[in-house]
Amino acid sequence: MAIMAIMAINMNLYLFPMKKDELRRILRGALMDTAPETHAFHSLLAGIGGGVSGYIIYALKILKPSYGEIFFPLAFFLFFYLLFAFSPLIKMKSRQSKIDMKLPHAITYMQSLSSSMPLFEVFRSVFQEKDLYEEVSEEFGFVVRDVELFGEDIVTAMRNLACSTPSQNLRELLDGLIIVFESGGDLRNYFSSKSSHFRERAIKQLEVNLKTLEILAEVFVVVFVAMPIFLIIMISSMELVGKTAGYEFFLYLYFFIPIGSMALIYILDQINIKEDLGITRVERKRRSYPTSIISRKSVSLDPKKLEKRKLIEIAYKPFKSVKTNYYNAIYFSLIALLVFVLVYQANVIPLKFHESIIPLSTIAFCIPLLVAFEYRARYVRRVEKEIPELLRQFLNLEEVGLTMQSIISIIKESKIGVLSRELKIIDADLGWGATILDALVEFINRVGISSIRRAISLIIRASEMTEDLRDILLISIEDFEHGLKMKGDRFASGFAYLVIVYVSFFTFMYTVYSMNSSFLVSLKKLNVPLNFAESLTLMYRTSLFLALFSGIIAGQMEKGNILHGLKHICIFMLASFFLFEYILGGAI
């Protein structure tokens, strides 16, 4: 009976600060297969669970604020309720930004195929390239579903997608595409005009994002650097006059700084233009297999055995495995962390503060992953800069009338850079009898960069339908140069925000040094009843919080990726360690 009552409430009671139709649209945009009533009910349950947790924290007397029996349950209820209630909206906004980011590249792809393929096949081609166009492919999958499974015509399928997609840019593209398709207009010209239009819009959006970054940098300086300095001075002053600092000071330092920093990190992650450093692979099925393979009764695909094989490959070829996938460096990070723990247990490194374990272990863990990630990032940037030049050489030789095999044989000796070696490998594969398609697929898998895959897949798909690749190569070159310009403008501006983070953090460090080397030391000589060791420990912990989150935010401000913050985390952690352990450690 209780279960039936809960189900009845779930289906009939709708307590939510949003209209039901609006919530249904948001849930669709977030790709969440949940009814509005169900989501509202789950949000309410989450809020009740949070309120109970808040009351338990108050009952355990971990903190004793005034009116705590009301404050904690209410605060936890609102936090968890709003977190669950608006999680679809956050996910929808995230998908919207991803669609808008990939849409210009998808339009370029559609423009190249539209002159030789039916419109539905163009949608299907984008849908099949999920690794390249991600959320755009997911959206176009609804068009494919409506036509193939539900029997709708292509126009009705596009209208359905235009009504449900979270991206205003995609909706605008589809509305215009429907008019052009029904009137028999030129789809290629339409895609060309829309591609230019969205590029201009992307430049304007970049300017807005940079201004937003400027505001967030100022918020970071005031809230997460100036306020901790003020609170540390307040706590020291209160102890000086014989009063105990209230719980709200420590609540800010130990709760608000981490939570607020993570919220700022999330906001930066949503508005930033990120480098695509992911590893891309093309799985290609062979048409024939050796008899020895066919005669086997079964092929073991046990996940445990596959993981064991992966670890064996990493152990035997560590550098190759890390180069192939920089996330494999996490295994070496764990080994480095284990070595540090063993060294610490052996008392090889004498430490004055127990807190010093945190910066040293963090640095030990970060360095292997940092080296692998930075190597990958530099490699991707070098390759992406060379792609337009490679495509231009393809274009010049293609106009002469040479085949693709002949083009590769000629340009392999050119001084392109990193790609010159790969072109020589492609030419060698062709010399050993491989088809041009197999050789290019192996090239994509060796490099593992999505931009290379996007360019090569476009050339391959277009070459299957036409021998005139001139227009397609021109479109690809323009697309890549626009992307490189956008990244260059973003990263040039990011350096200024990086300087702001560094100046802010080291301003905090200098303030801590000045307080302990002059003000607090003078009070200690006067035998003022002040717990200097506790004050220094509080400053050390605060600096470690700031070192961790400032490093992540610095990486996001500079290049847009959280992992770019690893090197800044190491620098800030190392600075905190030397300041407190060796410069201020004698004040204990």
Specify whether the CB–CB gap between 232 and 512 falls below 8 A: yes
% of residues, the chain, pLDDT over 70: 80
| Helix H or strand E segment including 279 | none
The confidence score (pLDDT) of residue 419 equals 82
Tokens of 226: 């100036």
3-state helix, strand, coil in the chain (%, to 5): 80, 0, 20
pLDDT at 334 over 80: yes
Residue written as tokens 């429907």? Answer: 178
Residue 249: φ, ψ to 5°: -65, -45
Q: Where does 265-337 show beta strands of DSSP type E?
A: none
The predicted structure's pLDDT at residue 455: 78
Q: Which helix (H) or strand (E) holds 206?
A: helix 187-221
> 403 with 467: CB under 8 angstroms?
no
- DSSP for 216-252? HHHHHHIIIIIHHHHHHHHHHHHHHTT-PPPHHHHHI
Which residues are CB-contacts of 421 (< 8 A; sequence separation ≥ 6)? none
Highest mean pLDDT among 44-53, 74-83, 546-555: 546-555
pLDDT at 421 over 80: yes
Average pLDDT, the chain: 79
Crossing angle of helices 87-113 and 470-514, in 10° steps, is 150
pLDDT for 66: 56
In the prediction, which pLDDT does 139 show?
A: 92
* pTM higher than the cut 0.85: no
Tokens of residue 404, six digits: 């693709």
pLDDT band, residue 206 (cuts 50/70/90): confident
Q: Is the pLDDT of residue 59 over 90?
A: no
- Residue 88 and residue 32 in contact, taking contact as beta carbons nearer than 8 Å: yes
pLDDT exceeds cutoff 80 at 49: yes
pLDDT in tens, 16-39: 667 788 888 888 888 888 888 888
Q: pLDDT of 83-112, one tens digit each? A: 888 888 888 887 887 888 888 888 888 887
Q: What pLDDT score was predicted for residue 547?
A: 92
Q: Are 284 and 441 in contact (CB under 8 A)?
A: yes
Task: Dig out the tokens for 281 from the structure.
Answer: 């692979």
284-326 per-position pLDDT tens digit? 544 443 433 333 443 444 555 555 565 665 555 666 677 777 8
Kindly state the average pLDDT of the residues 363-387: 88
Which residues, other chains included, contact 348 with Cβ-Cβ below 8 Å and sequence gap of 6+? none
Q: How far is CA 344 from CA 185, 357, 368, in A?
A: 73, 8, 19
Q: Name which of 364-373, 521-530, 536-545 the model is least confident about.
A: 521-530
Q: Terminal CA-to-CA distance of the chain, rounded, Å?
A: 65
CA proximity to 541, closest of 362, 353, 364, 365: 353
Residue 264 has pLDDT above 90, yes or no: no
Q: For 208-217, write each residue's pLDDT tens digit.
A: 777 888 888 8
242: left (phi over 0), alpha (psi -120 to 50) or beta: left
Report the C-alpha gap between 304 and 331 in whole angstroms: 17
Between 327 and 302, the more confident residue is 327
pLDDT at 9: 45
- Checking if the pLDDT of 568 tops 90, the result is yes
Give the list of residues 6+ apart from residue 125 with CB closer than 8 angstroms, or none: 109, 113, 117, 461
Confidence of residue 577 (pLDDT cuts 50, 70, 90): very high
What is the average pLDDT across 153-159? 92
Mean pLDDT on 569-574: 94
pLDDT at 298: 39
Cβ density class 185-219: b for 16+ within 10 Å, e for less: eebbebbbebbebbbeebeebbeebbeebeebbee
